Amino acid sequence: MTRLAVPKTYKLYIGGKFPRSESGRTYEVLSKKGAFLANAALASRKDARDAVVAARSALGGWSGATGYNRGQVLYRIAELLEGRRDQFVDELMSSEGLSKAAATKQVDTSIDAWVWYAGWADKYVQVAGNGNAVSGPYFNLSTPEPTGVVAAIAPQEGNSLLGLVAVVAPAVLTGNTVVVVASEAAPLAAISLSEVLATSDVPGGVINILTGSPQEIAPWLAGHADVNALDLAGAEAIDWVDLQVMAADTLKRVLPPVTGAPAPSLERIVALTETKTVWHTKSLI
């Protein structure tokens, strides 16, 4: 008897669950050689709104956790990703047409990025914050705090796993929650990562992953009043200037497009925080 393969239909990852697109739409994910790999959900405006609602609901608990706790959660993601390393290598080879060596390097770099950012979770405040010199009997202290809900477009050309990790990890380590649009052409690794997230310690709604067309979804995220920041890392191929204009209407922080996957950096962590400065009277005793 000939056994038929069971083609996978990937779903969205919203609020810690795996819903189909409310529109019922899907699209075919093809290999570099044009072979069918899977069906993926084609996210709609309603899906984007649902993801923002989930991210906003999770914000209070996640931002209220200690940096040390958030670092432990990010490190747990790295552990689970390491345990499914071979699966991710296979998915990158099939969806991006990479050699095994190149796919392995991307997976290992993605794991290392989670570890690197996990290490900063309880340290970035000490580096980015400051005790300011003032004239008078006062303490003046500045400290970075999370911006809120961050919408991000992951890099679209290559690095489908690493690119997604590179925009999500620096945002969530500070206490932000994220809605990210994965690579449209190669979403397999991104949705497999959502399975890792669902079995990790990440609370539902902290990271929400949409698949489909960034050109269709991005304007709704850019104009959404409950989104606080917009990371356009993977928006080079779409009209990102218009997205900046839309974001300005609701005073969003905007990070511009980059080429490839953003390298790990403290600057990327701090870019998605807001600095709060407080004054405190010095004791006269």
pLDDT band at residue 284 using 50, 70 and 90 as cut-offs: low
Summarised one tens digit per residue, pLDDT across range 57-115 is 999 999 999 999 999 999 999 999 999 999 999 999 999 999 999 999 999 999 999 99
Cα 35 to Cα 30, 46, 149, 189, 226, distances in angstroms: 5, 30, 37, 17, 40
Residue type, 252: K
Other beta carbons within 10 angstroms of residue 5's beta carbon come to 5
Summarised one tens digit per residue, pLDDT across range 243-280 is 999 999 999 999 999 998 999 999 999 999 998 888 77
Which pLDDT belongs to residue 281?
Answer: 80
Summarised one tens digit per residue, pLDDT across range 163-210 is 999 999 999 999 999 999 999 999 999 999 999 999 999 999 999 999
Please name the residue ranges forming H helices in the chain.
45-64, 67-83, 85-96, 100-120, 124-128, 160-172, 188-198, 214-222, 240-248, 266-271
What CA–CA distance (Å, rounded) separates 269 from 147?
A: 11
Q: Collapsing DSSP states into helix, strand and coil, what is residue 127?
A: helix
Q: By the 8 A CB rule, do 156 and 214 touch?
A: yes
Which pLDDT belongs to residue 184?
Answer: 96
Compute the CA torsion angle 152, 163, 233, 260 (nearest 10 deg).
-170
Q: By the 8 A CB rule, do 28 and 9 touch?
A: no
Instruction: Go through the domains of the chain in sequence order and give each one's CATH number.
Output: 38-281 (3.40.605.10)
User: What is the mean pLDDT of the segment spanning 211-222?
Assistant: 96
Cα 264 to Cα 29, 118, 165, 170, 269, distances in angstroms: 29, 11, 10, 8, 9
Q: By the 8 A CB rule, do 117 and 272 touch?
A: no
Token match 């067309």: residue? 213
User: What is the mean pLDDT of the segment spanning 39-55?
Assistant: 97
User: What is the mean pLDDT of the segment spanning 16-42?
Assistant: 94
- Residue 168 backbone phi and psi in degrees, to 5: -80, -50
Which pLDDT belongs to residue 141?
Answer: 81
What CA–CA distance (Å, rounded) separates 276 from 139?
A: 14
Which pLDDT belongs to residue 276?
Answer: 87
Residue 48 has pLDDT above 60, yes or no: yes
Which pLDDT belongs to residue 63?
Answer: 97
According to the 3-state scheme, what is the secondary structure of 51-68?
Answer: HHHHHHHHHHHHHHCCHH
Token match 């796993």: residue? 161
Residue 10 has pLDDT above 60, yes or no: yes
User: What is the mean pLDDT of the segment spanning 220-235?
Assistant: 96
Summarised one tens digit per residue, pLDDT across range 87-96 is 999 999 999 9
Q: What is the mean pLDDT of the chain?
A: 93
